[in-house]
Structure 1
Amino acid sequence: MIRFEERPLTSSGLRSTVLGFGAMELRGASHRVPRLLEEGVAELLLNTVLDQGIGFIDTSIDYGESEELIGRHISHRRSEYLLASKVGCPLDHQPDGPTNGPLVHDYSPANIRAGIEQSLSRLRTDYLDLAQVHIGPSVTVLQRDDVFGTLERARDEGKVRAIGISSTLPELLDHIDLGVFETFQVPYSALDRSSERCLPLINATGAGVIVRGGTARAAQAKRTLAIGDVALADLALEDLLEGDDLQGFLLRFVMSRPEVSTVIVGTASPKHVRENAKAASRGGLPEDVYAEARRRLDNAGFRTLDPNNQAS
């Protein structure tokens, strides 16, 4: 088992391994965006995650069979991982839902409460370490539906340990200003740095940062680099990889940000879990390599943005 660095996740004391696992790839064949898995793969995959020392698992009601598979295969190892799911999702299975966007969400107290109970049942656990508001609704919706109050009551009852939100710009800035969420799940990578300047703003509220999509564009980037796209002409990274493949390098790039609590990486391959774990075990990039990578990214057009201008 790899002993990963643990970082603060919440100001209340939760800590997470810097590498997490995103369980959307366990959504199954009946999901609106099907993901077929061979018999036994889910069990092997989830146990490999834990055997590698990864101690944070992110799932959602929206992820089809994901919660049920987690409950079936690793609920007996519950003490080994933090478990995060989402609220506001439709509770009924919708295989005919849109394939290129989110389902319609319902943030009413009744739906959030029912969703938490359903998740607890499927995951075969008495509590969620983290309940995250899904698809980052506007502050108007959050206040109208008393979303935070509903989640606070669930926390008081011991069904939820911490409250977070999955958010994107431009709403992210308003969500940060509320000062109530203990974690923020945001898209961020070397190739999508739009949220970069928001990371210290999140930490300033005492909240942790959960990064999704940290390596999601690795395959696309590899294809683009291979054909010598003009926009990426100065992004040749081969001399910086230091034994990593591109995905490992991008993972370590995100880990180099001190504001990041954990980077969730999704896969349906136990082999890829082991490869990600090996890369993450090396920690963030050396300072000089990280600085040079940022310089090349800037020159190639993958720059950090002013979130206030982006939100306007």
Structure 2
Amino acid sequence: MIRFEERPLTSTGQRSTVLGFGAMELRGASHRVPRLLDKGVAEALLNTVLDEGIGFIDTSIDYGESEELIGRHISHRRSEYLLASKVGCPLDHQPDGPSNGPLVHDYSPANIRAGIEQSLSRLRTDYLDLAQVHIGPSVAVLQRDDVLGTLERAREEGKVRAIGISSTLPDLLDHIDLGVFETFQVPYSALDRSLEKYLPLINASGAGVIVRGGTARAAQAKRTVDSRHASPADLAFDDLLDGDDVQGFLLRFVMTRTEVSTVIVGTASPEHVRENAQAAARGSLAEDVYAETKRRLDIAGFRTSDPTDQGF
């Protein structure tokens, strides 16, 4: 088993392995965007995650069969991982919903409480280490629906140990200013650095940063200089890889940000889990390599913001 660096996740003392696992690829055939897995793959995958020393698992009601598979295959190893799920989701994950774009979420107290109970049952656990408000609603919605009060009561009952939010612009700064969330899950990668300057602000509020999209699939990469889609092929940094493949290098780039608590990487392949673990075990990039990578990213147009952006 690899011994990963552990970083602070919450101000209340939770710590996470710097590499986490995102369980969306376990969504199954009934999901609105089906992901079929051969028999036995989910069990092998989840146990490989733990066998490799990855101690943070992120899931959601929205991820179809994901919670049930986690409960079925690794609930007996519950002490080995922090378990994070989402609240505000439709309880049946709407398998007939649109194939693109977010589902309509319901942040009412009744739906949040029902969702927590359903997640606990499916995950076969008594508590969530982290309950994250999904699809970061505006502060007005959070206040209108008493979302934080509902989650505080769940924490007092021992069903939730920490409260976080999945957030991005334009509401991210408002969410930070509330000063109540213990974690922020945000999109960030070498190829989408639009939130890079906000990472220190999240830490300054006392919260940890959970990164999604850290290995930046080419089709999702954002070139901020002109908003065109781009890929790692647009960059010339083969001489910096030093034995890493591109995905491993991109993973280590994100890990180099000291503000980041954990990078969640999703896959349906046990072999890819092992490859990610080997890359993460190499640790952060060397200071000079990281600086040179940022220089080349800036030149290629993968900047921290659009050139017209004048500040926060």
So what's the TM-score if we normalise by structure 2? 0.94
Aligned partner of 1:239: which letter?
Answer: D
Q: 2: CA distance between counterparts of 1:133 and 1:283?
A: 30
Instruction: Report what 2:240 is aligned to.
Output: 240
Say if 2:61 is the partner of 1:52: no
Instruction: Report what 1:151 is aligned to.
Output: 151
Instruction: Report what 1:83 is aligned to.
Output: 83
Aligned partner of 1:135: which letter?
Answer: I
Where do residues 152-301 of structure 1 align in structure 2 (5 Å cutoff)? 152-218=152-218, 235-301=235-301
RMSD: 2.1
Cα distance 1:93–1:258, how it changes in 2: closer, same or farther (>3 A)? Answer: closer
Which piece of structure 1 moves more, 57-66 or 89-98? 89-98
Counterpart contact for 2:61–2:93, Cα < 8 Å: no
Cα distance 1:181–1:68, how it changes in 2: closer, same or farther (>3 A)? Answer: same
Instruction: Report what 1:33 is aligned to.
Output: 33
**Structure 1 alignment gaps of length 5 or more:** 222-228
Q: Offset of 1:258 from its aligned partner? A: 0.1
SS in 1 for 2:62: coil
Q: Offset of 1:218 from its aligned partner? A: 4.9
4+ residue runs over 3 A deviation: 218-221, 229-234, 306-312
Q: Percent same amino acid at aligned positions?
A: 88
**Structure 2 alignment gaps of length 5 or more:** 222-228
Q: 2: CA distance between counterparts of 1:234 and 1:6?
A: 33
Q: 2: CA distance between counterparts of 1:263 and 1:153?
A: 29
Counterpart contact for 2:219–2:231, Cα < 8 Å: no
Q: 1: CA distance between counterparts of 2:137 and 2:170?
A: 11
Q: 1: CA distance between counterparts of 2:234 and 2:251?
A: 20
Where do residues 60-99 of structure 1 align in structure 2 (5 Å cutoff)? 60-99=60-99
Say if 2:143 is the partner of 1:127: no
Q: 1: CA distance between counterparts of 2:114 and 2:162?
A: 18
Instruction: Report what 2:141 is aligned to.
Output: 141
Counterpart contact for 2:218–2:232, Cα < 8 Å: no
Counterpart contact for 1:232–1:300, Cα < 8 Å: no
Q: 1: CA distance between counterparts of 2:130 and 2:198?
A: 21
Counterpart contact for 1:234–1:299, Cα < 8 Å: no
Tell me the number of residue pairs that the alignment of Structure 1 and Structure 2 aligns.
Answer: 305
Counterpart contact for 1:218–1:247, Cα < 8 Å: no
Cα distance 1:247–1:154, how it changes in 2: closer, same or farther (>3 A)? Answer: same
Q: 2: CA distance between counterparts of 1:248 and 1:142?
A: 37
Counterpart contact for 1:231–1:300, Cα < 8 Å: no
So what's the TM-score if we normalise by structure 1? 0.94
Say if 2:23 is the partner of 1:23: yes
Q: 2: CA distance between counterparts of 1:31 and 1:175?
A: 30
Q: Offset of 1:195 from its aligned partner? A: 0.6
Q: 2: CA distance between counterparts of 1:85 and 1:23?
A: 10
Cα distance 1:118–1:232, how it changes in 2: closer, same or farther (>3 A)? Answer: closer
Cα distance 1:209–1:220, how it changes in 2: closer, same or farther (>3 A)? Answer: closer
SS in 1 for 2:185: strand
Q: 2: CA distance between counterparts of 1:167 and 1:16?
A: 19
Cα distance 1:22–1:310, how it changes in 2: closer, same or farther (>3 A)? Answer: farther
Aligned partner of 2:74: which letter?
Answer: I
Instruction: Report what 1:226 is aligned to.
Output: none
Q: 2: CA distance between counterparts of 1:173 and 1:7?
A: 23
